[in-house]
Chain A
Amino acid sequence: MIRRIVRVAVVACLIANCLDLTTSIIASPVDRWYDTPKRAAWEWAIQLALVLPLVLLAARQAPRAVAALRALPVPRNALVVCGLFFALEVGHIALRLETYPFSPVAMYSNAVTTPPPVVQDTWRYLVIDHSKTLQMLSFERESTAASQFLTDFDYRTAAVATQYSRTRAVFSLVTEQLAAQGLPKPLIVRMPYSTRTGVPIPGPMERFEPLLPGHARDKR
């Protein structure tokens, strides 16, 4: 049992070493906020040397793996097509390469070295509701059952609306859906808020009215 645990741990370390090398080969867009330190020559040498046992192990296990694949009750066409797709995805994960429809699933894997500022800005839609109260519009909220103002707004539409919030198309869509409920045109404002609480900081807010298509894609 102990021998098996040690063996699994050693193989896991060898795979981790290999992944460390392969994920370093191609620069990923998620690296743009953090410049990963370069390896020294001796580190390269040790890590590359440690690839060899893994290759030997893989070569030793290959006949067993092939036999196991052949023993699967899977039609040959399915084995080839689905197996190739699976292998390509594994390759993209190992190289941190995103080429649709393959992905290393690297969303939110960017390294950051500083905390967010205590006060930061965001562009928000403000809506006057039926009780004449100013409300902040959340596209994510509108995509759920907790929706307040918009109808027919699923999470994908919410993602697009968030990313392109200051474009005329999104503004028109929101305006139309509010008008259908008898509510006035929304305001788009740059709003400072506390990152401690999320509460907006009172003061003058910059207003934005999209007149041209294709404005800034970033919501902030």
Chain B
Amino acid sequence: MRVTNAESRAPAATHVFARARLPGSPKHLALLRIVLGGYLISVFSSGAIPLLMAIPARVYPGTRSAFPLGFEEFAAQHLVRPLLTVGLVASIMLCIGLLTRTATLVTLVAYVITQNYYYRMITAHDDWLYFTFFLLVFLFAPVADAWSVDARIRPRRSRPATDYRWPVEWMGAWLALLYVAAGVAKLFPLRKGIVWLNGYSIQGMVANEVHESGFYWILGHSAFDYQVHWPFVVLSWVAVAAELSAITVLFWRRAVPWVALAIIGMHASIAMFGITGFLNIFLVASITWWEPKWFGDTTPKPAADPIPDAPQAPNPSPAPELAAS
């Protein structure tokens, strides 16, 4: 695997704006499309929303939506159930790359409306927080130029290789933003944040979820005495540090493996303490943090870098996979 000229000359501390001007790989975007499509298939086929409708759940107090209440009521009665089917079909099409642009738009509309209902009934932010933005970027990105039905049946136009990079960097920046936001929400306002770091919040959560935790399934009891306080102080500080560390991804590419490991460790620990669900979302979303060069991007670059700490300007040469085909 060869490293591009621009990347080999670029300093390690490349910020996200600079990285967005590097060449990317159509296969990178294609992999993201396939994995996200697969994940959305599981979302649309989940029994969660039909169960909420069967309960029937009511709007959770304190939740707010950008949708007008009248529309939400109409959607709950007439749109959500059919949109689950429509979204399922569209996400399958997105996954295989068939009529991809249309499929992305339909998936986005179905996803936003159905997840609005889900959020309003259970108040938790879930994968919609990650993937609404991803789908929005997909609308403008050439996500079907590789490994798709569209690429098989239609002649593809050649594009600058940077067209495959900026979407990945934007989605990666969004992912980093969410984790930084989680750290910020815990620490700010500072008067509240100092109290949060005392560990009682995590201690209470762990004590509440003890019977749902992996430790309880495996051991038949808690991992340790949950009335002992100091481990939760440590866990609180470590969790905030792991979340805030995501900001380094925006400025320093080499931080990615460490930040990803820290976040995976955090989610795995939380899952073992009884809150499952976010590790799989992160694993899907963190594909945006993978190196495009892992996908064999060997686009030739001009000789000079116009900005000292930034790599190349947009390269008009097509990505090699497309040029070859």
The answer to whether A78 touches B162, judged by C-beta atoms less than 8 angstroms apart, is: no
Residue of A nearest to B222 (CB): A198
CB distance from B28 to the nearest CB of A (A): 16
Interface residue A175 (Cβ < 8 Å from any Cβ of B):
no
Q: Tell me if B's interface is mostly helix, strand, loop or mixed.
A: helix
Known: A111-B195, A197-B225. A103 touches B140 (CB 8 A): no
A108 contacts B202, CB within 8 Å?
A: yes
Does B297 sit within 8 A of A, measured CB to CB?
no
Selecting from B92-100, B145-153, B203-211, the interface stretch reads B203-211
Chain A residues within 8 Å of B217, by CB: 138, 141, 146
Contact assessment for B210 and A198 in the assembled complex, using a CB-CB cutoff below 8 Å = yes
Q: Contacts A78-B137, A81-B136, A116-B203 known; A159 to B221 CB distance under 8 Å?
A: no
A82 touches B221 (CB 8 A): no
Q: How many angstroms from the CA of A186 to the CA of B125 in the assembled complex? A: 30
Instruction: For the complex formed, measure the closest distance between the CB of A25 and the CB atoms of chain B, giving whole angstroms.
Output: 10
In the assembly, what is the distance between CA of A194 and CA of B289, in Å? 42
> Contacts of B162 on A, CB cut-off 8 Å?
73
Q: Is A85 touching B136 in the complex (CB atoms < 8 A)? A: yes
Instruction: Write the chain B residue with the least CB distance to A69.
Output: B17
Contact B221 A198 (CB under 8 A): yes
A66 to chain B, nearest CB (A): 12
Q: Which residues of A contact B102 (CB under 8 A)?
A: none
> In the assembled complex, which residues on chain B have CB atoms less than 8 Å from the CB atom of A36?
189, 191-192
Interface residues in A, total, Cβ within 8 A: 89
The residue among B62, B184, B225 with the most chain A CB atoms within 10 A of its own CB is B184
Q: Which residue of B lies closest to A173 (CB)?
A: B51
| B139 smallest CB distance to A (angstroms) | 8
> C-beta contact mask, A82-118 vs B, less than 8 Å → 1, else 0?
1001100110010011111111111111111111101
Q: Which residues of B sit under 8 angstroms from A156, Cβ to Cβ?
A: 43, 46, 48, 118, 126, 277
Instruction: Kindly state the separation between the CA atoms of A17 and B181 in the bound complex, as whole angstroms.
Output: 15
Contact A195 B185 (CB under 8 A): no
Q: Which of B185, B227, B276 has the most CB of A within 10 A?
A: B185
Could you say which of B48, B62, B126 contacts A157, with CB atoms under 8 Å apart? B48
Listed in ascending order, the chain B residues whose CB lies under 8 Å from chain A are 17, 20-21, 42-43, 46-48, 51-52, 54-58, 60, 62-67, 112, 115-116, 118-122, 124-126, 128-129, 132-133, 136-137, 139-141, 160, 162-163, 165-166, 170, 173-174, 177-179, 181-182, 184-186, 188-193, 195-196, 198, 200-205, 207-213, 216-217, 221-222, 225-227, 229, 274-277, 280, 313-314
Show 23 residue pairs from A and B whose CB-CB distance is below 8 angstroms, ordered by the A residue: A23-B184, A34-B192, A72-B20, A73-B21, A73-B162, A73-B163, A73-B165, A74-B20, A82-B133, A82-B170, A86-B133, A86-B173, A93-B177, A93-B184, A98-B125, A99-B65, A108-B201, A109-B186, A113-B198, A122-B208, A140-B276, A157-B48, A198-B221
